[in-house]
Structure formats: structure tokens, C-alpha cells
Amino acid sequence: MSAASGSHRSAETPAKRRWLIRGARPLGGPPADILIDGTVITGVAASGRDGRQLAAGADVTVLDASDLIALPGLVDLHTHLREPGREDAETVASGTAAAALGGFTAVHAMANTEPAADTAGVVEQVWRLGRQAGYCDVWPVGAVTAGLHGSQLAELGAMADSAARVRVFSDDGQCVSDATLMRRALEYVKAFDGVIAQHAQEPRLTQGAQVNEGEMSARLGLAGWPAVAEEAIIARDCLLAAHVGSALHICHVSTAGSVEIISWAKSKGWRVTAEVTPHHLLLTDELAANYDPVFKVNPPLRTAADVAALRAGLADGTIDCVATDHAPHPAESKETEWSEAAFGMTGLETALRVVHEAMVSTGLLDWSSVADRMSVRPAEIGRLSDRAAGQHDMRHGCPIAPGSPANLVLYDAEPIRHVDPAEHASRSRNSPFAGLKLPGQVIATFLRGTPTVLDGRLAS
């Protein structure tokens, strides 16, 4: 249904290429034709009976996208690309290929690499690797503290001024638990419109923690990770952000109580934003029952009541966006005892399908809202709504309208297929959704007019 027609002319540089995407449904609405000229969307018009008004010129590649949903290219605020240091788990190239296959056109690469992304040099390296890979834009997240050790601020300004122009800072994987340090970080990044993305985990309450503290941790004899350890930090940091008038973003919100606190902070008008992962929208701690560490993640899978609250929070906007927390690990890190296993799950290639299952199939979000939660809002939080690099318009999260950079995903909502991690482009296979039946398939992804994915496969 979606085969690219028209010949592929190699003499033509991608930037000059023109595409006519025929019959796609922008944001799930009525069918329209979308014309891409070079890197920019130049026309969007309702598909007529013959729908020919945009098919000007013979040098246009026509893509039949009948019945496919068109969304602005997805933006992930929370991706672990592992490079430099853990190229056995993922590289910038393999991770961004996975991202493209999931419909993403921009990802934020978390700072817990080896070495950590705590200097201008490392963030520029990651930035350059992303440019070379070409599958999606890579915006490095800078560490808040040197080495993620939580004792001294990293050179936030140098990273902000670097070629990577870092605006999001996070020690993700570690909580900035020192209240004074957190306050200083929030204050300091005001100078360059930065945001601190907090991994909310009170360390003393979660020593050795393995699973959500509750019925499952009690039965399984695994050390509990109590909800209060997340909520206490979120409450503190909301108050700190308010006190210093800065921007706070909460990573991977996982509890019903956190949603309540964030809702309260937003009601005060404070600059607090939040993300939820696909896995926390779909999976519960019951899955730990057989001690298969593919379900081990930080923060842990919670209860069905938490899942319901997170879905409601994402639906009403209390939680601003979905972020994958894509955390690839090699097989040996998961094929082991639960307590020895690494925390984390892959998620880029399944995110949209999981959101479809958890939020759209349940009637909680329509496709327009999915675009908001997975593209528009994360782009705003990541300060990607007005980015440029040289002559390139690097904006993301823009409407599907003339003048916007041509970042698009075409999604077929119809098929229902089992998830098979062996098919994933990620170097790692630790998908908690393996074997699960999920709806939908990403058919094509365009990054500034260049297809990174066509026919559901990476475009060469």
C-alpha cells in the first residue's frame, strides 16, 4: 500500500529531491497530499477525487500513503545511545537507526556514557556522530555534575556554548540528590535557557532497590523501590524550581503520587514539565514474577493503579510527553540473576505502537494529541522549536504545514503484529514487549525531506 513509485535518481542530491505523499491523513484527519521540496514542506492540500493539484512537475517521487497516518517526526527527550564507551550495547549509528524505524527524527542522548558527557568535548563528539549517522538529529544531554558523581557542577555553560548547544542537562541514571547542588544547577542554567531533567530517586530510600515496593517485592523477596523515593524528590525539586524561577523537567514519572504532585506544581504556574515512558504506560510489576530481568528497569514497573494514573496524566497534559528511556544492554547483562542484571529496556522501535495500544486504542488520546505528546511538547522542552545549525533549519515538532521542515512519520495503524526484538536495528535485544501483540507499523520516516525509513525498512 505504500511502495515508493517513481525512479530513484542518484544524480539528484537529496536536498533537491521532491516528494509527493499522496492520501496520508495528517494527525489522523482527512486524507491530504503533502508536497516536500528539498528539506521543506511546501504544500498540504486535501486529497480531491483526482488530487492532482500538487502533482506539479515530473521530477516528483510519488508515495502512495493512502490510509497512513501522518505525524510530525517524533522527538525523544530520553535516549541512551551508549556511545562513547558501551558500543557493545549501542552506537549512535545503531541507536539512531532504531529511532528512525520508530518514527523519530530527533533524540536526546543521555549523558551517562563512558566517559560521561560532562564536557564540551564529549557532547560535541556525540553531536558529530549523530550528524554522520544521518538517521535522526542527535541532541546531547549534558551531565549536571562532573562524572555524574553528584558532587560538583559540570561545565554547563561550556556545553551550552559548544557546537552541540546543549540545553537539557541530566545526571539520568543518578539522582541529583544534594538539595543545594540541585538548586544551584537550576539557577545556573537560567543564563542560557537550560532545563534540568531530574532522575527522581532518593538514594537512601532505594539502596539495593530492585522492584516496586509493594505486594510483589514482599512476595519475591526483592528489595523494594518505594514510590515515596520518587515523589519526595519531585516535590522537593518543584519547590526548588519555584524558588529560583527556573525550569525543571521530571524524567520517567512512574507513580500515581508523582502525577498528583506535578499537577499541583503546574497549578501554581511553576515551570515544571514531565515525561512518562511507554513501558510505564503498559506494563506492571507483576511481570517480575518469574525474575526475568528483561522487566528490570529504573524506576521500576509499578502497579496497575499507577499505570492508570500515568495514562490519565498523559491524557490531561499533567505529563507533557512520552520519552522512551531507551536503554540497550547486551545479552549477558540480562541473562543473569535479577539482582545482578542491568536496569533498562529498549524502546525506540516500539514507542509509537505502545502509545497506540495504551493511549489511542483506549480512547485516551487521538492522533493529534499523540503528535503533541511525542513531537510538539518534547521539542519545546528540548528547546528544538527554534533551532538552526548553519543554513539548516533544525526545528522539530513543527506543524505539518507549508514552511515547516519536512520531518514526518507515516504510520499504518491497521496491522497487529508480535514484537520480535531480533528484527530491531538496535544492537540490543532487551525489549520487554518481545512476543507481545501490538498494533501499528511505522512505514516511512522523513528527516528534512530525506527518507530515513521507507516501506518499514531503513532507507539506504
Residues 307-346 that bind other proteins (CB under 8 A): 332, 335-340
Q: Which one of residues 224, 278, 328, 382 is an interface residue with other proteins (CB under 8 A)?
A: 224
What's phi and psi for 80, nearest 5 deg? -105, 110
6 binding other proteins? (CB under 8 A) = no
219 binding other proteins? (CB under 8 A) = yes
- Count of other CB atoms within 10 angstroms of residue 55: 14
Task: Provide, rounded to whole angstroms, the least separation between the CB of residue 281 and other proteins.
Answer: 23
Q: Which stretch binds other proteins (CB under 8 A): 131-139, 209-217, 343-351, 446-454?
A: 209-217
**C-alpha gyration radius of the chain:** 21
Q: Which one of residues 220, 242, 287, 458 is an interface residue with other proteins (CB under 8 A)?
A: 220
* 366-405 exposure pattern, b = at least 16 Cβ within 10 A, e = fewer: ebebbbbbbbbbbbbbbbbeebeeeeebbbbbbebeeebb
286 binding other proteins? (CB under 8 A) = no
Positive or negative, the CA dihedral 128, 115, 253, 169 is: negative
Q: Which one of residues 214, 317, 399, 456 is an interface residue with other proteins (CB under 8 A)?
A: 214
Considering the complex, state which of residue 108 and residue 296 has its C-beta at the smaller distance from other proteins. 296
Task: Provide, rounded to whole angstroms, the least separation between the CB of residue 176 and other proteins.
Answer: 24
Task: Provide, rounded to whole angstroms, the least separation between the CB of residue 212 and other proteins.
Answer: 10
Considering the complex, state which of residue 49 and residue 204 has its C-beta at the smaller distance from other proteins. 204
Positive or negative, the CA dihedral 368, 444, 447, 349 is: positive
Q: Which residue has the cell 521540496?
A: 37
| Contacts (Cβ under 8 Å, ≥6 apart) of 374 | 71, 74, 75, 321, 322, 351, 352, 355
Considering the complex, state which of residue 316 and residue 335 has its C-beta at the smaller distance from other proteins. 335
Positive or negative, the CA dihedral 63, 65, 70, 75 is: negative
Residue 142 DSSP one-character state: B
Considering the complex, state which of residue 340 and residue 420 has its C-beta at the smaller distance from other proteins. 340
Cell of 257: 503520587
Rounded Cα distance between 460 and 457, Å, is 9
Q: Which one of residues 116, 222, 365, 374 is an interface residue with other proteins (CB under 8 A)?
A: 222
Catalytic residues: 325
Considering the complex, state which of residue 153 and residue 341 has its C-beta at the smaller distance from other proteins. 341
215 binding other proteins? (CB under 8 A) = yes
218 binding other proteins? (CB under 8 A) = yes
- Count of other CB atoms within 10 angstroms of residue 62: 15
257 binding other proteins? (CB under 8 A) = no
Q: Which residue has the cell 542554567?
A: 189
Rounded Cα distance between 447 and 407, Å, is 5
Considering the complex, state which of residue 230 and residue 237 has its C-beta at the smaller distance from other proteins. 230
* Nearest CA among 135, 420, 378 for reference residue 277: 378
Task: Provide, rounded to whole angstroms, the least separation between the CB of residue 341 and other proteins.
Answer: 9
Question: Do residues 286 and 114 lie in contact, with contact meaning Cβ atoms separated by under 8 Å?
Answer: no
Task: Provide, rounded to whole angstroms, the least separation between the CB of residue 295 and other proteins.
Answer: 11
Q: Which stretch binds other proteins (CB under 8 A): 48-56, 134-142, 220-228, 272-280?
A: 220-228
Q: Which stretch binds other proteins (CB under 8 A): 59-67, 143-151, 215-223, 266-274?
A: 215-223
Peptide bond into 378 cis (omega under 30): no
Rounded Cα distance between 327 and 194, Å, is 24
Considering the complex, state which of residue 213 and residue 372 has its C-beta at the smaller distance from other proteins. 213
287 binding other proteins? (CB under 8 A) = no
Task: Provide, rounded to whole angstroms, the least separation between the CB of residue 315 and other proteins.
Answer: 29
Q: Which residues pair with 212 in a beta bridge?
A: 225
Task: Provide, rounded to whole angstroms, the least separation between the CB of residue 332 and other proteins.
Answer: 7
Task: Provide, rounded to whole angstroms, the least separation between the CB of residue 216 and other proteins.
Answer: 8
* Nearest CA among 440, 404, 441, 445 for reference residue 35: 404
Q: Which stretch binds other proteins (CB under 8 A): 32-40, 64-72, 223-231, 258-266?
A: 223-231
- Residue ranges that bind other proteins, judged by CB under 8 A: 213-215, 217-224, 226, 290-291, 332, 335-340
